[in-house]
A = this chain, B = another copy of it.
Amino acid sequence: MTDLREQVLSASLALIEEEGLGALSLREVARRAGVSHQAPYHHFGHKEAIVAELVSRGFTRLAERLEAAERTRGTPARRLMRSGLAYVDFALSEPASFRVMFRPELVDGARFPASGEAGSRAYAALVRLVTECHGDRRAGKPTAAARRRLEALVTMHWSMVHGLATLLIDGSLCQRFRTARERDAHVLRTMELFMQSTGMRSD
């Protein structure tokens, strides 16, 4: 009864979650919403527009989580650690969103700039945290080498966290744990090891 637009979005997400991205079908979504097969089409124009909206909203929620971690108390390293865990946790709690967010071939970035902007917002939060953690060692103007080092640090941190997330939901890592507890403990150990390897004590 509520807004059909919202119903379509949540049904799409549920469908992807249940049967994979390939099974996302406008007609099935319409069927679940108890409506004719063209009703969703009237709200979105193309299938791509639905996915674009999911991507945009997904990145926005991820950005909110990262920004929340940024605002917590504690040392920069602690907050960076929390943001990394938030990233992984997001992927585990919303795998359908996460998967769709990192399939750029699904939505044409030029036609749906909102998706890209939401992504940039999440990326910016990550950059700020890494910079705060590492950039303040030597004050003053950063040399080109220092800037490159910072870029490498950002990429390293993002890659590690993103790789962990994708391997947990799509890769074979997901099968190595019997329980969610076991998995979370392993994630925590890995993240702690990473933080402490890169010279930050987060405990």
Contact among B116, B156, B164, B186 for A193, CB-based, below 8 A: B156
Docked complex Cα distance between A189 and B148 (Å): 8
- Could you say which residues of chain B place their CB within 8 Å of the CB of A193? 149, 152-153, 156
Q: Tell me whether A74 is interfacial, beta carbon within 8 Å.
A: no
Within 8 A of B (CB), among A155-191: 155-156, 158-167, 170-173, 186, 189-190
A158 touches B167 (CB 8 A): yes
| Interface class of chain A by DSSP | helix
Q: Tell me whether A94 is interfacial, beta carbon within 8 Å.
A: no
Docked complex Cα distance between A153 and B193 (Å): 7
- Could you say which residues of chain B place their CB within 8 Å of the CB of A163? 158-166
A160 touches B167 (CB 8 A): no
CB distance from A8 to the nearest CB of B (A): 20
- Could you say which residues of chain B place their CB within 8 Å of the CB of A199? 197
Look across to chain B and name the residue whose beta carbon is closest to the beta carbon of A160.
B160
B173 touches A167 (CB 8 A): no
Q: Tell me whether A21 is interfacial, beta carbon within 8 Å.
A: yes
A151 touches B102 (CB 8 A): no
Contact among B149, B153, B165, B170 for A103, CB-based, below 8 A: B170
Q: A164-B159, A198-B197 are known contacts. Are A152 and B186 too (CB-CB below 8 A)? A: yes
Chain A to chain B: the 6 pairs with minimum beta-carbon distance, closest first: A163-B163, A159-B163, A20-B105, A159-B164, A162-B163, A152-B189
Show 6 residue pairs from A and B whose CB-CB distance is below 8 angstroms, ordered by the A residue: A104-B170, A104-B172, A116-B172, A153-B193, A158-B163, A162-B171
